[in-house]
Amino acid sequence: MRWTFGVEPLSESLEVASLIRTVSGLVLSLEAPHPALERLSADLRRAEQELRDLVPGDPAPRIGHKAASDARVYLDHSRDIGAYNACFPTYRIAVNGDRASGTVAFPIVYEGPPGLVHGGFLAVFFDSIVQHHNCDVGLTGKTTSVAVTYRRPTPLLAELQFEVDRSVAERRILSTARLLAGGAVLCEAEVRAVVGDRTSLPEVSPRRART
């Protein structure tokens, strides 16, 4: 049984996240000022003001004791976070029991050293795919540690492959993951999590009806 916790994102937010990620990369690649940047900033300021008036006043997530309060909706973070949040990487994954594999390409917004992925984003990536794997299998919980070993520099804008293997013992999950380019290991991660109990999860408030 797939593990979920939270509300599905709005369909419009999927397009916005993709555009933000792409446009940010284009802005970072500009050689000189351009009027398009001024127009973009003006549009974003207008959108900021309009959206600020629409969201709840309390920025805390509407879960547990806050489920009925004037807080914000909590979106499902079990998998594919990058689809609605441009700060997270996107990837393709196939789960087959305790093994998973897939592909990923990191855009310019994740650059650290010239032409290479920032190591911190690689840690986020590994935690994301491991929890995606765990949630699809239906046995997951909070991450307790992420240890990344960097073997080779990870290039931007290249299709890379990844593999994940997991094991469970005494309510502890151990996942080992590798990121590869053409068979060469770029970096590896060991991710540990504690098995959670679905029945102990706090209440998550659904989206409120539009008025």
Which residue, among 140, 111, 138, has the nearest Cα to 25 in the 3D structure? 111
Indicate the SS3 state at residue 85.
Answer: coil
**Residue 138: CB atoms within 10 Å:** 10
Whole-number Å distance between alpha carbons of 120 and 93:
21
Which pLDDT score is estimated for 6? 94
Least confident of 19-23, 110-114, 206-210: 206-210
Whether the predicted pLDDT of 16 surpasses 90: yes
Question: Residue 191 in contact with residue 177, Cβ under 8 Å?
Answer: yes
- Cα dihedral: 20, 52, 203, 98 (round 10): 10
Whole-number Å distance between alpha carbons of 179 and 177:
7
Contacts of 132 (CB under 8 A, 6+ apart): 78, 79, 80, 93, 95, 100
Which pLDDT score is estimated for 68? 85
With a threshold of 0.85, does the pTM exceed it?
yes
Q: What is the DSSP letter of 117?
A: B
What average pLDDT score do residues 129-154 get?
A: 96
Locate the DSSP E strands across the chain.
58-61, 71-72, 91-96, 99-104, 143-150, 160-169, 172-181, 184-194
Which tokens go with 183? 């068979």
- 211: confidence class by pLDDT, cuts 50, 70, 90: low
Whole-number Å distance between alpha carbons of 210 and 147:
44
Q: What is the residue-averaged pLDDT of the chain?
A: 95
What average pLDDT score do residues 201-209 get?
A: 90
- Residue ranges and CATH numbers for the domains of the chain are 11-199 (3.10.129.10)
* Alpha helix ranges (H) inside 29-118: 35-52
Which tokens go with 88? 């997270």
Whole-number Å distance between alpha carbons of 81 and 197:
22
Least confident of 60-69, 74-83, 153-162, 168-177: 60-69
- 30: confidence class by pLDDT, cuts 50, 70, 90: very high
Q: Kindly give the pairing relationship between strand 91-96 and strand 184-194.
A: unpaired
Which pLDDT score is estimated for 168? 96
Which residue, among 161, 101, 111, has the nearest Cα to 132 in the 3D structure? 101
